[in-house]
Structure 1
Amino acid sequence: MKNIIIIFTGGTISMKESETTHAAIPVMSGNDILKLTPGIDKIANIDFLNFGMFPGPHMTPEKMFELSNIIKDKVTLGGYDGVVITHGTDSLEETAYLVDLTYKQSNPVVFVGSMKNSSEFGWDGPRNLMDAVNTATADESYNRGVMVVMNNEIHAASQVTKTNTHTLDTFKSVDFGPIGFVDNNKVYFYYNYTKRQYIKTKHASSIVDIIKCGCGMNNRLINFCVSSGTNGLIIEGMGRGNVPPKMVSGIENALNKNIPVVLVSRCIKGKVLDDYGYEGAGRELREKGVILGDNLNSHKARIKLIIALGYTNRIHEIKDIFEKNYY
């Protein structure tokens, strides 16, 4: 059997309903969860590490980067064949993507969580964890980067997103679909997602902001972020990547201060392009120096910019990181 380490970080999979507040809180350690997952020791030789009991919103890029370094150490120094990470679903996709951008080993890394806590009927934690370990042990899982396994489906970390607040099938790769699935403890892959990047970053800092566009918005929020010390901006534009005209001066203000600005779309599918030429449209913004964020959603684009800024502060290099092989 292969040697797998499970790193427990918290999330709903570690939660029970409090007897006093009747609300779910993280209380179970990795050992507690493993005891409630019968048969997992028949899939692989399991070790575990308690990284923390963090609800999803309590994760930070700094913690994510620390976790990424632990994963690399467990593979390169610990000799593990694969790594499984349990995580709160609210920020699971962000942590998984940060690890994907900073991990270049071939051994499988799989993120997993649950939508129900252990006090609820139909707790999905044990089944999801079994599927994740099965995926981490599969020979076909090597050289696929970081994956997310939920609800029997396998997704590429760079593409998956949480789409529903409560359903078990909330995690979707809206542009390309899952890369595989787990059925009766067997792993099957549809295709190999090859559009991956590795960024040799030195650190991760949270001081990157997201601004979502709405009709009639102006430069006020952008200028506030610039004056209060932001290191970078993600603009979640409309459609193909267009903004209200009164926001343009704020974007120019950021660019003039050498602050990278990345443009994504508020649409749930598709990528931004510079094929509109009116005021505030993608063509004008790109000509001014705005970076196009491909099909990333705003919170993943933020993670990518955070990691890119840990590697370089040169705008042209950050632009290359985002737009290389774009067209």
Structure 2
Amino acid sequence: MSYNNSARWCKALLACAMLLSTYAGAAEKLARVTILATGGTIAGSGATSTTTVGYTAATVGVERLIAAVPELAKVADVKGEQVFQIASENMSNDHWLKLAKRVNTLLAQQDVDGIVITHGTDTLEETAYFLDLTVKSKKPVVLVGAMRPGTALSADGPINLYNAVLLAASQEAVGKGVLVAMNDQIHAARDVTKTNTSTPDSFKTPELGMLGYIQGNKPYFYHLPARKNTVDTEFDISKLEALPQVDIVYGYANVNPVALNALVGAGAKGIIHAGVGDGSLASSVKTGLVAARKQGVLIVRSSRVGQGIVARNGEANDDELDFVASDTLNPQKARILLMLALTKTSDTKQIQRMFYTY
């Protein structure tokens, strides 16, 4: 072989090698995931390694959370941002609006492929559903928390955070709405709920079922969310500075109307009635609910039971009373949907449509 031919052959091999190197680098490129920290037990600490109750929430910053799980660097290019540092029982409407706007801003950027939100478990399901209705992107958004502080012997926060980042970095999570990753399981924001005060398996989706598992560094989906979410909703919070006041009234034996009347008197624009059974209305509060509706307050019949459909015109004549039935939404999630619905309309027929849509 001549020198010129040999030189050309070497150049061709070098070019191939560089091309293969480029493809390999592209294949190894990690998804870019931003962790938005809001506080909660996952950022909490206890007095001793056996303190699993009575600890202090929201003491650890996002950089320490990330540093505690060095394995994150293997599954995503991770950045952290401290949005709030609160126990989640203090989560407010203002917090939700700020968080949703920040999520939408980040997801609009080309250098963000997914979002993980660390959150206290007490109101995690509510924040997840609010975001499910207001995030305007198909990129993954995953909420995660912990039932035990990071100082506990059996802390669940680190593995939960790892799984959440893994999920947010995956293509499998794209377009499936806002997700919750807890205890190696994947749940839809609309249907998941906290079912136990303290055990690590607290988050479940009763009856309707979780979406899948995270196992062996891979998410496995077996079900998909049926209701519209994220980019397919009609809600736009980009210019909202506040949400309408909507409150929850609890049903129980021998209930009196004092709480209902006080909330209506305090300016509630909507009331979620968490009734017994199929959203039943005790006569002692029905009068007050009817009067509130005549004053323009929107009334939604939900149930304290926690599972099942609240049937329209079942335990009350909703058509006659001009009430709305909550479908399968629990009271705390019905409140979120009604708040957002009231930013669009006060027509009960349209709001009932929304409850059957989302």
- Shorter-chain TM-score range: over 0.9
The alignment partner of 1:74 has SS state of helix
1:148 is the counterpart of 2:183: no
1:10 is the counterpart of 2:39: yes
Partner residue, 2:200: 168
Mapped to 2, the partners of 1:12 and 1:23 lie a distance apart of 8
| Bigger Rg, structure 1 or 2 | 2
Q: CA deviation at 1:165?
A: 0.3
Mapped to 1, the partners of 2:59 and 2:169 lie a distance apart of 28
Segment drifting more, 185-194 vs 150-159: 185-194
Mapped to 2, the partners of 1:113 and 1:206 lie a distance apart of 28
Contact 2:271–2:298 (CA under 8 A) maintained in structure 1: yes
Consecutive unaligned residues of structure 1, counting only runs of 5 or more, are none
Mapped to 2, the partners of 1:159 and 1:298 lie a distance apart of 12
The alignment partner of 2:301 has SS state of strand
Partner residue, 2:14: none
1:94 is the counterpart of 2:126: yes
Partner residue, 1:302: 335
Mapped to 1, the partners of 2:330 and 2:43 lie a distance apart of 27
1:39 is the counterpart of 2:71: yes
Q: How does 1:270-281 map to 2 (within 5 A)?
A: 270-274=308-312, 276=314, 281=315
Residue 273 of structure 2 aligns with an amino acid whose one-letter code is I
Residue 247 of structure 1 aligns with an amino acid whose one-letter code is V
Mapped to 2, the partners of 1:231 and 1:78 lie a distance apart of 39
Q: CA deviation at 1:311?
A: 2.8
Equivalent pairs, count: 318
Mapped to 1, the partners of 2:172 and 2:119 lie a distance apart of 23
The alignment partner of 2:116 has SS state of strand
Q: CA deviation at 1:254?
A: 1.2
The alignment partner of 1:269 has SS state of coil
Segment drifting more, 294-303 vs 71-80: 71-80
Moved over 4 A (4+): none
Mapped to 2, the partners of 1:216 and 1:25 lie a distance apart of 37
1:263 is the counterpart of 2:295: no
Q: CA deviation at 1:105?
A: 1.2
Q: How does 1:93-242 map to 2 (within 5 A)?
A: 93-197=125-229, 198-202=233-237, 203=240, 204-205=242-243, 207-242=245-280
The alignment partner of 1:26 has SS state of coil
Consecutive unaligned residues of structure 2, counting only runs of 5 or more, are 1-29, 49-53
Residue 291 of structure 1 aligns with an amino acid whose one-letter code is V
Mapped to 1, the partners of 2:121 and 2:337 lie a distance apart of 19
Partner residue, 1:293: 326
When residues 79 and 311 of structure 1 are mapped into structure 2, their CA distance, relative to the original with a 3 A threshold, is farther
Partner of residue 250 from structure 1, selected from 261, 274, 288: 288
Q: TM-score, normalised by structure 2?
A: 0.85
Mapped to 1, the partners of 2:321 and 2:356 lie a distance apart of 15
Mapped to 2, the partners of 1:133 and 1:30 lie a distance apart of 14
Q: CA deviation at 1:46?
A: 0.7
**1:306-327 deviation digits (Å, cap 9, x = unpaired):** 12223334444323322459xx
Partner residue, 1:65: 97
Partner residue, 1:318: 351
Contact 2:313–2:319 (CA under 8 A) maintained in structure 1: no
Of all paired residues, the percent bearing the same amino acid is 33
**1:76-113 deviation digits (Å, cap 9, x = unpaired):** 13531111000000010010100001113110100001
